[in-house]
């Protein structure tokens, strides 16, 4: 029973992180378009880089995305396969 409670709490936290509109937009774009850097996301979302970076940090901490350094930039991509399954339920992949 205790193990079940822990699984439910972890799943709820995972969904809370994903449920923010900006973070959902970020993961949906990564799902549809593949790996991207912060500058691309900033232009796409029309939000300051600091705002995008804060949301990326939350997604990374939750294990939803990963960042890989490519020279001076960090390129982000989806890490958790559950996200792809969730997004496929709500959105079409174009």
Q: What is the CATH number of the domain that holds 16?
A: 1.10.10.10
User: Can you tell me the mean pLDDT for 48-66?
Assistant: 94
In this prediction, residue 43 carries a pLDDT of 82
What is the spatial distance between Cα 54 and Cα 61, in angstroms, rounded to a whole number? 11
55 touches 27 (CB < 8 A): no
Task: List CB contacts of 13: < 8 A, sequence separation 6 or more.
Answer: 62
**Structural domain of 26:** 2-90
What is the spatial distance between Cα 16 and Cα 7, in angstroms, rounded to a whole number? 14
User: Can you tell me the mean pLDDT for 58-79?
Assistant: 95
Domains: count for the chain: 1
Cβ-defined contacts of 88-91 (< 8 Å, 24+): 91/28, 91/31, 91/32
Give the residue, 15 or 70, on which the prediction is more confident: 15
């Amino acid at each position: 029973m205790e193990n079940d409670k822990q699984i439910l709490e972890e799943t709820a936290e995972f969904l809370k992180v994903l449920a923010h509109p900006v973070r959902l937009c970020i993961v949906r774009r990564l799902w549809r378009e593949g790996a991207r850097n912060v500058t691309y996301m900033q232009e796409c979302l029309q939000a300051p880089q600091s705002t995008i970076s804060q949301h990326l940090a939350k997604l990374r901490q939750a294990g939803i995305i990963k960042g890989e350094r490519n020279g001076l930039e960090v390129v982000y991509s989806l890490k958790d396969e559950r996200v792809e399954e969730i997004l496929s339920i709500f959105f079409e992949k174009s």
